[in-house]
Amino acid sequence: MSPAVFAGRFDDRAVAVTGAAQGIGRTVATRIAAEGGAVVLIDRSEIVHEVAKELRRSGFDAHSVTADLETFTGAQAAIDEARAQHGRIDVLINNVGGTIWAKPYEHYTPEQIQAEVQRSLFPTLWTCRAVLPHMIARSAGTIVNVSSVATRGVNRVPYAAAKGGVNAITASLALEVAQYGIRVVASAPGGTDAPPRRVSRGPAAQDEQEVAWYRQIVDQTVDSSLLKRYGSLDEQAAAITFLASDEASYITGTVLPVAGGDQG
């Protein structure tokens, strides 16, 4: 089934999407462009330029930026370039993150724990900080963070901690900035079917034990879903674009699970 496209829903909106080279981020950016938004796709992979080029060939307003959002310097540079395209950012969608390793917590090294948190918490923390002065000055803006229901899941404790931090950012920042007319919301995807990644999140399983640990994640994800399946990229994008749109104008500080009934 083809996803519904609401023509004009993002007309006159400048929307920055991080992690936009593939997966959920790419699907979200494509949908917002089809719905009239001027999109700036941000990713550390050069693939993001191919995606933006494809969107422009389809007649959409799309620009691409490469940046390492795990540092504040990279996040600030990306936000500055995104702003320069249209003079403003109406919506920021923070989609960077993803599990690097899959194993019980006692098997993580300190360096791996830090890397997981650096990957899945700091890009959201930094880009929110970079965009806020601009949104506050305009007394307008929407931030949509992409969290995860894996805040309650097996074999991903550091990732769960990072996404728990994203939930905390969403709740606390929404409380701070509502006075400026800024909304801060989040979606929490569950397991999502997607094509093979062109840039992997981490090393492939090295032995039978690592394969079994990853299988535990898959099994728990399906078992925790009332619908007993993974979602699709379009199902995740539908929730995120709704939260980013004016249709959600009375929603802030909320984390919406999109996981077939798994509340996380």
Predicted pLDDT of residue 61: 98
Predicted pLDDT of residue 150: 97
Whether residue 85 is contained in a domain is answered as: yes
Exposure b/e, 179-208, CB count within 10 A at least 16 = b: eeebbbbbbbbbbbeeeeeeeeeeeebeee
User: Among this protein's residues, is 159 annotated catalytic?
Assistant: yes
pTM of the model: 0.96
Scanning the structure block, which residue is given the tokens 């098997």? Answer: 107
Predicted pLDDT of residue 206: 79
Scanning the structure block, which residue is given the tokens 């229901």? Answer: 149
Predicted pLDDT of residue 198: 76
Whether residue 2 is contained in a domain is answered as: no
- Report d(CA 33, CA 56) in Å as an integer: 10
Structural domains in the chain (count): 1
Residue ranges in the chain whose pLDDT is less than 50 = none
- Report d(CA 152, CA 148) in Å as an integer: 9
Whether residue 3 is contained in a domain is answered as: no
* Per annotation, catalytic residue among 105, 159, 214, 250: 159
Give one word for 8, left, alpha or beta, with left for phi > 0 and alpha for psi -120 to 50. Answer: left
Whether residue 263 is contained in a domain is answered as: no
Phi, psi of 146 (to 5 degrees): -105, 110
Predicted pLDDT of residue 131: 98
Task: Supply 166's token pair.
Answer: 């994203």
Whether residue 64 is contained in a domain is answered as: yes
Whether residue 167 is contained in a domain is answered as: yes
Predicted pLDDT of residue 1: 56
Whether residue 158 is contained in a domain is answered as: yes
- Report d(CA 247, CA 227) in Å as an integer: 26
CATH of the domain at 146: 3.40.50.720
Range of the domain at 200: 14-257
Whether residue 148 is contained in a domain is answered as: yes
